[in-house]
Amino acid sequence: MGNSKKVLEIKKKKVPLKGMMDNVMEQFNHAADHIDLHPNIRKILSITNNEILVNFPVKMDNGDVEVFTGYRVQHNGALGPYKGGLRYHATVDLDAARALAMWMTWKTSLAGLPYGGAKGGIKIDPSLYSQSELERITRRFTYALADNIGPEHDIPAPDVNTNSQTMAWIADTYMSTRPPAQRSANQHVVTGKPDGSGGLEGRDRATGFGVYLTIKFWADKNNMDLNGKRFIVQGFGNVGYWASVFLEQDGAKLVGVQDASGSIHNQDGIDVEHLFNYTQEKGGAVANFPNSELIEKDAFFAIDCDICVPAALGNQITKDNASKIKAKLIAEGANGPTNVEGEKILLERGITIIPDILCNSGGVIGSYYEWLQNRSGEIWHLDEVMEKLRKKLKGSFDRVYNYSENEDVDLRTAAFCIAIQRIEKAYVQRGIFP
């Protein structure tokens, strides 16, 4: 235990903390100190199991060939097959994939799923490519990953800028490269597929629903009525949109949205469905939505509100804006949106953070249900899925909340401690081969 702490301190002096990897390692070491994690297990969990980097060529619409770089990082598989999304974004690199894979390990462990953690993607701005180019890029990436993914080995899912269509292409490519008699037994190589192709009813809204539920559970514990409460959302993709839908259904009011196109604000409320329809016409962008004022990027987190839902990228809430935040509650729909320095300021100010590995775990829990469904050939209905999700998340939420009260630690530390302890137990039971 002492050793790793020393290593981290030395590292801190040399390089300023800024990457997502530094962030997740600080969170991990903080929780590991709290539970006095065995030094051998700390060593194992401090590093990733496998890192796959593939460079692959794809023919563009104009006949030129472009070479892309794709990643898949498998952090830890002690609890089961690796699990986690694939993102298509300019910020994807080895450091980002490592950090995001680690968060997946803690997330699946905390949720009590039989999975390890992985993450990957392609360093690409997908808006620069046509749909048929994206299809060829995705299929060729799948082919390049080959047996590094698999339904009982490593199961990708949607993440930033990937969706059910992306997953359908991956599943089809992977299944097409298997011997004929094995094809349909490989459908669960990815989750988040479309409803008609082995997807799960409700997987589309699972992450946003989970974000909403954890807010609701917290509000119930703290005698807060969501009716009339104002919330802001960073990122109006799948997670931001669905979280907004469910919060609005409970009477909460969306007063600000930020995405890459701009930041919009209206204290009287922004109608979620109107905004969604508007973004559908504008290639996903929220800027210039009619019933709102376009505000400066830096003014977004300072909007007067009760709840803030960062649902975009990592490292968004930092020491530069944490002191300006007006919300009393931050619900992390994104992975790693608050860095360690930002979090320190928020906690000192008495602001509660529902940590990513709990808050957005509805997505991977939904993925688990899809995987089970494919494995057993069953088809579950929406009501059933939503009810199962609600029960599972309530269990996770209560465990984290109670741990935080009993041990007098913040919710993130509580969530990490529970997640790490489950993995520690598996290692203690099984030992280290040979």
Q: Could you give the residue numbers annotated as active site?
A: 119
Single-letter residue type at 21: M
User: Around Cβ 43, how many Cβ atoms within 10 Å?
Assistant: 12
Name the nearest CA neighbour of 279 among 233, 315, 313. Answer: 233
Query: In this structure, are residues 24 and 47 in contact, taking their beta carbons and an 8 Å threshold?
Result: no
Which of 84/126 has CB closer to ligand GLU? 84
Evaluated on CA atoms 422, 426, 427, 433, the torsion sign reads negative
- The C-alpha atoms of residue 6 and residue 356 are separated, in whole angstroms, by 27
Choose one: 77-85, 226-234, 293-301, 419-427; the region binding ligand GLU (CB under 6 A): 77-85
Give the residue nearest to ligand GLU (CB).
85
Find the shortest distance in angstroms from Cβ 303 to ligand GLU: 26
**Geometric angle at alpha carbon 119, from 196 and 190, rounded to 5°:** 20
**Strands 307-310 and 329-331: what pairing?**
parallel
Sign of CA dihedral 187, 188, 189, 193: positive
- The residue ranges of DSSP E strands in 260-376, in sequence order, are 262-265, 293-295, 307-310, 329-331, 352-354
Region from 40-48, 83-91, 136-144, 308-316 binding ligand GLU, contact rule CB under 6 A = 83-91
Among 30, 83, 123, 229, binds ligand GLU (CB under 6 A): 83
> Which residues between 327 and 386 bind ligand GLU (CB under 6 A)?
335, 360, 363-364, 367
Identify the DSSP state of 61: T
Of 96, 95, 117, nearest in space to 106 by CA: 117
Strand order of the sheet with strand 352-354? 293-295, 262-265, 253-259, 230-234, 307-310, 329-331, 352-354
Beta bridge mates, 70? 54, 122
Q: How far is the CB of 286 from ligand GLU (least distance, A)?
A: 22
Our CB check for ligand GLU shows the closer of 97 and 232 to be: 97
Nearest distance from C-beta of residue 87 to ligand GLU, angstroms: 8
Tokens 């946003």 belong to residue: 208
Q: How far is the CB of 215 from ligand GLU (least distance, A)?
A: 17
Region of 80-88, 145-153, 211-219, 318-326 interacting with ligand GLU (CB under 6 A): 80-88
Q: Which CB atom, from 145 or from 255, has the smaller least distance to ligand GLU? A: 145
Least separation, in Å, of the C-beta of 113 and ligand GLU?
A: 9
Between 144 and 183, how does the x/- string for binding to ligand GLU read (CB under 6 A)?
-------------x-x------------------------
The smaller minimum CB distance to ligand GLU, of residues 255 and 419, is found at 419
Q: Backbone dihedral region of 85: left (phi > 0), alpha (psi from -120 to 50 degrees) or beta? A: beta
**214 makes contact with ligand GLU (CB under 6 A):** no
Angle value at C-alpha 335, between 203 and 161, nearest 5 degrees: 60
How many residues touch ligand GLU under the rule CB under 6 A: the total is: 12
- Cβ closer to ligand GLU: 199 or 342? 199
Closer residue to ligand GLU (CB): 76 or 335: 335
Please pick, from the candidates 19, 85, 116, 199, the single residue that binds ligand GLU as defined by CB under 6 A. 85
We find the least distance from the C-beta atom of residue 363 to ligand GLU, in angstroms, to be: 4
Task: Note the Cα 177 to chain centre separation in Å.
Answer: 29
In terms of CB distance, is 190 or 414 closer to ligand GLU? Answer: 190
- For residue 86, the minimal CB distance to ligand GLU (Å) is 8
Q: What residue ranges bind ligand GLU (CB under 6 A)?
A: 83-85, 107, 157, 159, 191, 335, 360, 363-364, 367
